[in-house]
Structure 1
Amino acid sequence: MSVPEHVPGLSERSFWSTALEVLRPLWRPFHDTVVVIVACWMAVVTSTAEAFFTPFRLFGVLLPVSAVAALVVTPFLSTVTHRVTGLRRMSMIPAVLWLLVAVYWSTTPREGDHVITGSWTGLVYLIAGSAAAAYGAYKVVMPPLPPRPVERYPVDGV
């Protein structure tokens, strides 16, 4: 798109920089909302998939595949949301939503079906995923520590 030639003193660079300055405050809330919604959707999908993988067996042996996935994915959702949006409180939402979905899948409905059973893999999944969600939320909510002052000693050792 070219700049209208009848406007004196308006170059193409200043036109686009002005347009970006005008649109940036309008774009940021929409961008942050979309990022948080996508992170929440990923939290629901991963928590559901991990819940269904709790009884995973290989050659008859229970493997904690869902616990390992929860340890990796759950803090990742919070930290990526914080890095992309810069919002500390909003980036806790995926971790809390992951925990709510995991608790939902651990309850027993009227029909009596269990998704997360009382086996050791189900318990490890719930404990490890909750700890990972708490770690991710803690890492995001707490501001970084200021750098320590460096003590300088004289050369002569006094």
Structure 2
Amino acid sequence: MQRLKTRPQYQAALGGRILSKTAHFALHGCALPPAANPPRVDEAKRAQALFSSVDIWLGAMVPKRWARRAATRNLIKRQIYAISAERAHALAQGAHVVRLRSAFPRTEYPSAASDALKDAVRQELLQLLAAPQRVAPAPAEVIA
């Protein structure tokens, strides 16, 4: 499993379809064109420039809008990468982004990096990654 690093990589993954949702997270994904049988030459060149190999690529988006404290954002990102590494077999080859789409209530989790918050994030991520099938997501338009 490799991590998404550049903005065009994230845009390509977000341009795909939503594979699953939970109360706080969404899993976006797009398939990478196969290297041996590219659909079009220009698309294959762009995708090859974005992704060096056909593998499982993963990125995490935790906007400041939904997690105000840096400690909370870091905790959520660490959980995303740890759970995804454990559940890599559930993801098809392609580019995937786990996106936080709503805030965890501060009244329930007053500490920015509490064990209760860590457990809640972990349980929801397990639920998110259990839902998608091993079917490869539809290819997305690659934005260069």
Give the structure-2-normalised TM-score.
Answer: 0.28
The structure that is strand-richer by fraction is: 2
Q: Which fold has the larger relative contact order, with Cα–Cα distance below 8 Å and residues 6 or more apart in sequence?
A: 2
TM-score by length of 1: 0.26
Q: Which has the higher helix share?
A: 1
